[in-house]
Structure 1
Amino acid sequence: MASLEEVARRAGVSTATVSRALSGRGRLSEQTRARVRAAADELGYVVSVAASSLATGRTRSIGVIVPLLDRWFFANVLDGIASVLSPRGYDITLYNATDEPGDRRRLLHTSLRRGRVDAVIVLSVDFTDPEIDDLRGLGLPVIGLGTPSARLATLQVDDTAVARLAASHLIDLGHREIAHIGHSLGDDRSPDIPTLRRRGFDAALAEAGLRPAAFAAADFTIDGGYRAARELLRTTAPTAIFAASDEMAFGALFAAREAGRDVPGDVSVIGVDGHEMSGFFGLTTIEQFPHAQGQRAAEAALAALAEDVAAPDPVLPFALVPRASTAAPPQPAPGR
């Protein structure tokens, strides 16, 4: 394998400049950095992480903690994180934070203390205060993305406003009997994302002088949304359903079709996320731009490591995307 000196000769710079260019540290012009990287690529030179770590104290890896590994949303966030870190020579070390106390202790007391990462990004994990003490005790930058605790530097969508926007869209269309599929811990003061969305939904209806037609709990999966919507349509008569995620909204679409209810002729359905399949299903949604969320989280981590990256705005954008699944409610038959 080529040596650092050979790369320096090929690029026409010093070995110190090669080191700075390939580590991403230090101020260099983009032209010089590109010339060094091109020389390294031509010669097949790869920086030794072990050697670099000994010299700089950096591992060139960012730890990412996720609550679920098999969900579309987190996969898109991870892709966004990788799209920022990889070009700068950083790897991702992935950790799964389950609800099992023993697993969490091993994560916080062992895995994260092995010196394998330079910073940690936490994706929507509701850590307890003692667990946050453990995280902060690592001595590493910790960036939250959608985390409910105010004790972490967090990038956040205003989930209350997200739900208000969804409810307002249905209200503006003329709906008065609006049901909600979501999840709640049962404590209206809880800062978790599903509860915030339910709180925003209820507030928007109250301000319009309305009461929710019904609420059904689900687990943010297509099957969960299907089961919840099937029960709602069996026991109540909503003209619209607000699902707290697109995947639950997909389930609601399937349940409506099974029940012989036309969407949007008989019942409108709106979700949240901007799922890649929402356009295929014609689902009206509140787009959250998960890939861009991941990019911002990575930028925040790099900024915290004093890389040449501006710290991003912690307030994340969202937008209503109207499609075919929402329309005005059905009109009563003449004479009724």
Structure 2
Amino acid sequence: MRVSIDDVAARAKVSTATVSRALRGLPKVNPATRARVLAVAQEMGYVPSPSATRLATGRTRTVGVLVPFIDRWYFAHALEGIDQELREHGYNLLLFSLGGYRHGQQRRFTEQMVRKQIDALVVLCLGLSSAELGELKLTHVPMISVGGPVEGCHGVHIDDAAAASAATQHLIDLGHRKIAHLSGGINDEKNFVVPTLRSEAFEATLRRAGLQFRPEWNVAGDFTVGEGAAAAARLFELPGERPTAIFCGSDEMALGLMFEAKRRGIRIPEDLSVIGIDDHDFSAPAGLSTMAQQPVQHGLLAAQMLLAELDGKPGAIHEENMPFKLIQRDSTAPPA
């Protein structure tokens, strides 16, 4: 026979409200009483009913995550961090995928998607339409973004412009003057603002150093290994002189470029220096220089802020610029 909260209250000689508060870790419960209730609940094998808990608290103990892609390195690792923190505190994660590159009329976030299903929402580095932003505001739940700026949300992310500038400056400091760029494509720019921030910072850093920005050397790769290789092929087949270094807007594109360079007999770093952003799992084995960030930690911190907000701590959700650092490996060197 299932043990009820009334059974626990009777055995512990307290009210059912006290049992509920003690088991949920809420304040205003005497420490000795809390310990007694927890011991009795464990002894009796009491398991709170999720539906009863929701009715009593108005909480679902579920946090939603709105994501443009589920197959990208950054998003997968950020999700891991979010999930770790939520599970540690007895919360579930509910994923809302907007289907990658589908946009506009083919892709729509609505308040109905999350109504009464979640207590809070994480928005993973997503570019939303004006209609979607309006729907987001109707959810009336605590929100935070992860991975890049999202209009209307405080966020946890690196300074993407600063990271891109530092990567470009690393190539300049090595003595490179002919520098190309593999950027996110039009589809990426529709879905999140990060590619644009990194591309603009690359161009600005070149100009500050008195170097020429060559539009034909700015090639879109859509932030994937396959598209990075395809973009590299287009770059390598351009007539005229070649760049001596390339800044890639993500490590996945940089890895694709390295595969294509090897296929063509272009030596890295002897003929071409390459740097990316992220520190992808394959970057160290490939010897790729990169501006490293830690998306698992980004997800953990964002989840901690949301849970603190749900626990009633004012100002728990705030903007947080996370650290990044240059890791120089074998793929960057002074020009020959």
TM-score class, shorter-chain normalisation, is 0.7 to 0.9
1:232 aligned onto 2:235: yes
Q: Is 2:5–2:19's contact at 8 Å kept on the other side of the alignment?
A: yes
Q: Is 1:23–1:89's contact at 8 Å kept on the other side of the alignment?
A: no
* Structure 2 alignment gaps of length 5 or more: none
Change (3 A) 1:255 1:50: same
Q: Which residue pairs with 2:165 in the alignment?
A: 164
Q: Is 1:226–1:252's contact at 8 Å kept on the other side of the alignment?
A: yes
What SS does structure 2 have at the residue aligned with 1:155? strand
Change (3 A) 1:247 1:140: same
Amino acid at match of 2:290: T
Q: Which residue pairs with 1:333 in the alignment?
A: none
Amino acid at match of 1:195: T
TM-score (norm 1): 0.86
Number of equivalent positions: 326
- Report Cα offsets for 1:263-310 as digits up to 9, x if no partner: 111111111112122111111111121001101211221133235695
User: Identity, % of aligned pairs?
Assistant: 44
What SS does structure 1 have at the residue aligned with 2:237? helix
Alignment partner of 1:294 out of 299, 303, 311? 299
Q: How many angstroms does 1:233 deviate by? A: 2.1
Q: How many angstroms does 1:185 deviate by? A: 4.5
- Report Cα offsets for 1:87-129 as digits up to 9, x if no partner: 1111111100133445644x4142212x010011110111122
What is the RMSD computed on CA atoms of the aligned residues? 3.0
Q: 1:191 & 1:36 partners in 2: Cα distance?
A: 48
Q: How many angstroms does 1:44 deviate by? A: 4.6
What SS does structure 2 have at the residue aligned with 1:211? coil
Amino acid at match of 1:218: G
Q: How many angstroms does 1:316 deviate by? A: 2.0
Q: Is 2:147–2:298's contact at 8 Å kept on the other side of the alignment?
A: no
Q: 1:90 & 1:196 partners in 2: Cα distance?
A: 34
Amino acid at match of 1:56: T
Alignment partner of 1:259 out of 261, 264, 280? 264
Q: Which residue pairs with 2:174 in the alignment?
A: 173
Farther-moved stretch of structure 1 (31-40 vs 167-176): 31-40
TM-score (norm 2): 0.86
Q: Which residue pairs with 2:309 in the alignment?
A: 304
- Report Cα offsets for 1:175-216 as digits up to 9, x if no partner: 111110012549x9x981101100111111111111235111
Change (3 A) 1:153 1:234: same
Q: How many angstroms does 1:149 deviate by? A: 3.8
1:217 aligned onto 2:223: no
What SS does structure 1 have at the residue aligned with 2:247? strand
Q: Which residue pairs with 2:62 in the alignment?
A: 61
Amino acid at match of 1:246: D
1:125 aligned onto 2:131: no
Alignment partner of 2:278 out of 273, 278, 288? 273
Q: Is 2:144–2:317's contact at 8 Å kept on the other side of the alignment?
A: no
Alignment partner of 2:333 out of 327, 330, 333? 327
- Report Cα offsets for 1:40-95 as digits up to 9, x if no partner: 56655433221111001110000100101122211110110011111111111110
Question: Any residues of structure 2 matched to 1:18-97 within 5 Å, and which?
Answer: 18-26=19-27, 44-97=45-98
Change (3 A) 1:10 1:264: farther
Amino acid at match of 1:285: T
Change (3 A) 1:19 1:202: same
Farther-moved stretch of structure 1 (195-204 vs 34-43): 34-43
Q: How many angstroms does 1:23 deviate by? A: 2.7
Q: Which residue pairs with 1:110 in the alignment?
A: 112
Change (3 A) 1:328 1:132: same
What SS does structure 2 have at the residue aligned with 1:69? coil
Q: 2:136 & 2:320 partners in 1: Cα distance?
A: 20
1:316 aligned onto 2:318: no
Change (3 A) 1:305 1:268: same
What SS does structure 2 have at the residue aligned with 1:110? helix
Q: 1:147 & 1:242 partners in 2: Cα distance?
A: 19
Q: Which residue pairs with 1:245 in the alignment?
A: 250
Change (3 A) 1:255 1:69: same
Q: How many angstroms does 1:159 deviate by? A: 1.1
Q: Is 2:154–2:317's contact at 8 Å kept on the other side of the alignment?
A: no
Amino acid at match of 1:319: K
What SS does structure 1 have at the residue aligned with 2:110? helix
Q: How many angstroms does 1:169 deviate by? A: 0.8
Q: Is 2:247–2:275's contact at 8 Å kept on the other side of the alignment?
A: yes
Q: How many angstroms does 1:3 deviate by? A: 3.8
- Report Cα offsets for 1:243-267 as digits up to 9, x if no partner: 1111111101101111111111111
Q: How many angstroms does 1:30 deviate by? A: 9.4
